[in-house]
Structure 1
Amino acid sequence: MLDSLVQLDDSMPGITLDIRLATDNNFTGQQIYTKAKAYVHRDTAKKLETARRIAATLGLQLHIWDTFRPLEAQQKLWNYHPDSRYISPPDNGPRTHCRGIAVDLTLESVKTGELLDMGTGFDDFREIAHHNNTSISDEALRNRLTLAGLMHTAGFRCHPYEWWHYELPTLDRYPVLTDRLAGTHLMGEEGKG
């Protein structure tokens, strides 16, 4: 299991990490991860590299908020907001983050370092954040379509209720991992159980 995940870092050109669950700047208002690290399955990493290259041709880079999420963290998020439209149930949901095949991200201008306007912020649990919602500005709609286009071209599919969430389409090939099984230690001592 451990060798199936690879770590992303800020030294990779075209990628900025802003791991929100390692801070209290997330929808729970609490720090969930003890380390601001980002891991993805090797297959996800290959597709992210394709997305990064496409974004670069547009003068953009990937701004990543979350990747692999241990099952222990999924349980905490579910306890805080038990709505299966936005949080995968930890016991029987698809749990794509817990498989290392999902990434929450947006686009950032290489020139200015500013995030593109997507009509809402990250982890906005309102209908305006749904992919099919067009009641946003023309600029935000163009930006969402740009993100969707490059992520789909790279081999990801979108989550219908979260413009920022993309995942690999074949989840049965990837097991659900706990922090201990993944060897990421994102949850610190608590996640070692």
Structure 2
Amino acid sequence: MPEECHLVDVAKTFPALHIDLKYATADNITGQPIYQEALCLLHPDAITALAKAIGIASLAGLRLVVYDAYRPQQAQAQLWQACPDPQYVVDVSIGSNHSRGTAIDVTLTDESGKVLDMGAGFDEMHDRSHQYHPSVPPDAQRNRLLLNAIMFGAGFVGITSEWWHFELPGAASYPLLDDRFACFSSQHTSL
């Protein structure tokens, strides 16, 4: 694998895909924007899998919404400051698969664009966010299973603690990437 990776712009590659980058807004665990730019980037291998996921979702009459993709390591450090729990946020000293361009956070909408209920919100760092939690109502659990099936069918794997997080198999074997866009400083985010 080459050391230098050219990340692919998801918005340019899939112009019809709904992208709602939560870390470019205040709608995340820090309560403030982290990204200075709303760029949605992925490794070419993840782009190939995402194309399959978009197609599979379409077959089911559903659409994907992307909440996060490539994440600068500076942003990962800020998330770790906000939630230093390795169950939900990877310590920057280890390196997130988002910072390799090999992980993506997604949800589903129906044909009318309504976000499906997943039983817990994005970035809700609680047991309810775990893939198979008994407190999640059956309809929301079915929606999670649909999301899992779509993403697994496309070649991604999930993690047990976050229903929204998917990554390439062997994602951690890809190199950590230098920051590709700027983040607000931790002083800005008051972490």
Q: Structure 2-normalised TM-score? A: 0.90
Distance 1:171 1:160, change over 3 A: same
Write out aligned runs for 1:169-184 (5 A): 169-179=169-179, 184=180
Match of 1:107 in 2: 108
Q: 1:187 aligns with which of 157, 172, 183?
A: 183
Match of 1:39 in 2: 41
Determine the C-alpha separation between the residues in 1 that align with 2:143 and 2:8: 28
TM-fit CA distance, 1:138? 1.5
Unaligned ranges ≥5, structure 1? none
Q: Secondary structure at the match of 1:164?
A: strand
Q: Residue 177 of structure 1 aligns to which amino acid in structure 2? A: L
TM-fit CA distance, 1:3? 4.5
TM-fit CA distance, 1:45? 0.4
Determine the C-alpha separation between the residues in 1 that align with 2:172 and 2:130: 25
Greater relative contact order (Cα 8 A, min sep 6): structure 1 or 2? 2
CA contact 2:87–2:161 (8 Å) conserved in 1 = yes
Determine the C-alpha separation between the residues in 1 that align with 2:79 and 2:169: 23
Match of 1:150 in 2: 150
CA contact 1:14–1:52 (8 Å) conserved in 2 = no
Post-superposition CA distance 1:151-175 (Å, at most 9, x none):
1111111111000000111124411
TM-fit CA distance, 1:32? 0.4
Whether 1:83 and 2:85 are equivalent positions in the alignment is yes
Identity of aligned residues (%): 39
CA contact 2:66–2:106 (8 Å) conserved in 1 = yes
Q: 1:50 aligns with which of 32, 49, 52?
A: 52
Q: Secondary structure at the match of 2:63?
A: strand
Q: 1:15 aligns with which of 7, 17, 40?
A: 17
TM-fit CA distance, 1:113? 0.9
Unaligned ranges ≥5, structure 2? 187-191
Distance 1:45 1:11, change over 3 A: closer
Q: Structure 1-normalised TM-score? A: 0.89
Determine the C-alpha separation between the residues in 1 that align with 2:63 and 2:72: 26
Match of 1:137 in 2: 137
Q: Residue 88 of structure 2 aligns to which amino acid in structure 1? A: Y
Distance 1:14 1:153, change over 3 A: farther
Q: Secondary structure at the match of 1:166?
A: strand
Determine the C-alpha separation between the residues in 2 that align with 1:88 and 1:32: 16
Post-superposition CA distance 1:72-102 (Å, at most 9, x none):
1101110111000000010025x11110010
TM-fit CA distance, 1:11? 7.5
Distance 1:33 1:134, change over 3 A: same
CA RMSD of aligned residues (A): 1.9
Q: Residue 49 of structure 1 aligns to which amino acid in structure 2? A: A
